[in-house]
Structure 1
Amino acid sequence: MTKIKRLELLLLSINSKQHFTLKELAEEFNVSTRTIQRDLIKLTEMGLPIVSEFGPNGGYRLEDDRILPPIGLTEMEAMTILQVLDPHLHDHSPFKHAARSALRKLLEYLPQDAAHILSERKKRVLYQLPMPENASYLDLFIEASVKQQVVSLTLFQGEEIIQSCLQPVGLFTMYGRWYCPAFCFTRKDYTVFKLEDVQSASIIHDILGPKDFSDVTILNWVKNTPSSRQIFLHVLLTKDGAHHTALHPVLSQLLILNGDGSGEIKGGLIGEELLGIAEYISGLKEHAAIVEPVSFIDRVAETTVSLSQHHLLSIT
């Protein structure tokens, strides 16, 4: 047995024990106690917290967390783990110390080009739990948004079938669906669509003049995608309203906070009907007051009446 293999098996053996001695390990691996002692020193240098205990029942034990043996991860597996760690890196997370430690270890061995791809994926994909059902072409749109590529697609919207060339900014989840803001080369304008409406899609590799989205990400696209179809939205929010809006993947980008915790939604927005903005603001009830547009006030009022009638029907 090679030394590397013995160290790996020794690590597994130690992890399964509460207490162990040199003699026990020497017999288990059919080597001398001196060899085991050298191996334990090597494992300690690798970070295994081995503590020696003196006395009649002396020996060794692990002081704290056990350490797993080497695990061969692919680049994609490592990048996925790192992306999933993101919510646990914040100060409010009860897992922040373990998450930050794991982040440092994985980034230390992640190749530079893979680290760049990871950074781009974080700029292009924003999701909330629980995750939506996996939409068709999700991987394709993630690849296109990360690499800033153009996609040729057939889109079914309402009763209309649309064929177009789009360059996705990224993808985000909301209301149990995947959404994609993108620049449409056919209309020469920005748009937002649901991934579930895509009937077919393929990446175009030889197109000239794709948009430069280096500074436009899924976290700031609302303010950086000017459109002729934008509406200007201005909504005053109480403290509770601002707190809820800060969690919204779209309206949070237009949120301005005041010193007392209240705030306002202020800015241009495309795809407000598709994104269900009127329904969302209606749900904020007394915690939101629409300033403009006036037409939006009527739409929110209609939504509120519709929801009230539906509720009355459901309880009668």
Structure 2
Amino acid sequence: MSKAKRLNEMIMMVNRKKRFTVKELAQEFGVSKRTILRDLQELSEMGVPLYSETGPHGGYQVINERILPPIAFSEDEAISIFFAIHTLRHYISLPFDSEYESIRKKFYLNLSGDIRDAIDKMKDRVDFVSVYQQEEIPFLKQLLEASIEQEVILIDYETNGNITCRSIQPIGIYSSEGKWYCPSYCFFRRDYRVFRCDRIKSVEYDEKNEPIDLSNINLKNRFSILNQNKETVEIHVELTKSGVEKFQSVNWPNIYLRKRENGSGFINGIIAKHDINFLLNYFIAYGENALIKEPIELVESTKEILNKVLNQYN
């Protein structure tokens, strides 16, 4: 029996028996006690919650926690999962108890030696590059739990150097370009807002405000809800071939990309007026690869910003 198979079967056995001795495991798997001790050390490093007791009636027992049963993966599946986990290294904070390094180590150690060798050869040959998260965010798990349980929380929120207290009910959390965001219902504004998680300085449960029913709102349909009853305008932006290539990675609701045969194209659709400032800075980053045609407010704001930038160099 291979070591990987023995470890998998051992996980199932100790989870079933809860209490066992090294001698019992050695007899069960036909190996020496020394080998079993090494295996138990590896199981502990993989996250199996073992507790040892000394003495004539001692042994090992599994702490009362749920352990997932082993799952059979093909080599390609295992490698794909490893590199999916590997992308988490860009995040300092995650909304889960386990940190990236702990997750990666447990998964990696449970793979067979030949698959580990294949991963080691690939690590410097393939990568998934994303923006590194720059700041530690301690409240991600609380924000996620509040969104799941539909609870109202009080946050201290920093904007323009000032800190204000807000009562919010989170819809969820998501990450974009190295930052975490929390779309929520704001009881102060009596409207939906998106909060930057790195600007949230404290979180506590709000016992004064009753939760509202947000069960039909999630991260997938939030835009249709957040923009309800908002004043909207049409948008039209001409894009060069390079602009089209850049915009293809964007997925915005109610905005559609149309490509021409020569590779250029344009986007059109509907936006909320309060998104104009965001789109202003976004399309300025396209430089000469984007030409805004509509709305006129966005055109004029772009001119104003570009003139300010030009004046800095005069």
TM-score (norm 2): 0.52
Between the aligned partners of 1:253 and 1:6, the Cα distance in structure 2 is 47
Say whether the 8 Å CA contact 2:137–2:197 is kept in structure 1. yes
AA matched with 1:208: E
**CA spacing shift, 1:154–1:263, aligned 2, 3 Å:** same
Say whether the 8 Å CA contact 1:246–1:252 is kept in structure 2. no
In the alignment, is residue 266 of structure 1 matched against residue 269 of structure 2?
yes
Say whether the 8 Å CA contact 2:237–2:293 is kept in structure 1. yes
**CA spacing shift, 1:200–1:77, aligned 2, 3 Å:** farther
**CA spacing shift, 1:213–1:237, aligned 2, 3 Å:** farther
**CA spacing shift, 1:198–1:255, aligned 2, 3 Å:** same
Counterparts of residues 145-184 of structure 1 (less than 5 Å): 145-158=147-160, 160-174=162-176, 176-184=178-186
Between the aligned partners of 2:221 and 2:183, the Cα distance in structure 1 is 11
Between the aligned partners of 1:199 and 1:77, the Cα distance in structure 2 is 35
AA matched with 2:223: V
State the Cα distance separating 1:189 from its structure 2 match.
0.9
2:224 alignment counterpart: 223
Structure 2 residues not aligned, in runs of 5+ = 10-25, 32-41, 50-64, 69-75, 85-128
1:88 alignment counterpart: none
SS of match in other structure, 1:200: strand
Counterparts of residues 241-260 of structure 1 (less than 5 Å): 241-248=243-250, 252-258=252-258, 260=260
In the alignment, is residue 197 of structure 1 matched against residue 199 of structure 2?
yes
2:80 alignment counterpart: 99
Between the aligned partners of 1:295 and 1:69, the Cα distance in structure 2 is 62
Say whether the 8 Å CA contact 1:246–1:255 is kept in structure 2. no
**CA spacing shift, 1:138–1:97, aligned 2, 3 Å:** closer
State percent identity of aligned pairs: 19
Between the aligned partners of 1:282 and 1:144, the Cα distance in structure 2 is 36
**Post-superposition CA distance 1:209-243 (Å, at most 9, x none):** 423244431x4422331256655351324354343
Say whether the 8 Å CA contact 1:245–1:252 is kept in structure 2. no
Between the aligned partners of 2:159 and 2:233, the Cα distance in structure 1 is 24
Say whether the 8 Å CA contact 2:257–2:266 is kept in structure 1. yes
Between the aligned partners of 2:228 and 2:292, the Cα distance in structure 1 is 22
Say whether the 8 Å CA contact 2:167–2:188 is kept in structure 1. yes
Between the aligned partners of 2:167 and 2:231, the Cα distance in structure 1 is 20
SS of match in other structure, 1:210: coil
**Post-superposition CA distance 1:86-110 (Å, at most 9, x none):** xxxxxxxxx778326999xxxxxxx
**CA spacing shift, 1:10–1:300, aligned 2, 3 Å:** closer
Between the aligned partners of 1:10 and 1:225, the Cα distance in structure 2 is 47
State the Cα distance separating 1:139 from its structure 2 match.
2.3
State the Cα distance separating 1:175 from its structure 2 match.
5.4
> How big is the alpha-carbon RMSD for the aligned residues of Structure 1 and Structure 2?
4.6
1:301 alignment counterpart: 303
Between the aligned partners of 2:181 and 2:224, the Cα distance in structure 1 is 17
State the Cα distance separating 1:76 from its structure 2 match.
11
1:135 alignment counterpart: 137
TM-score (norm 1): 0.51
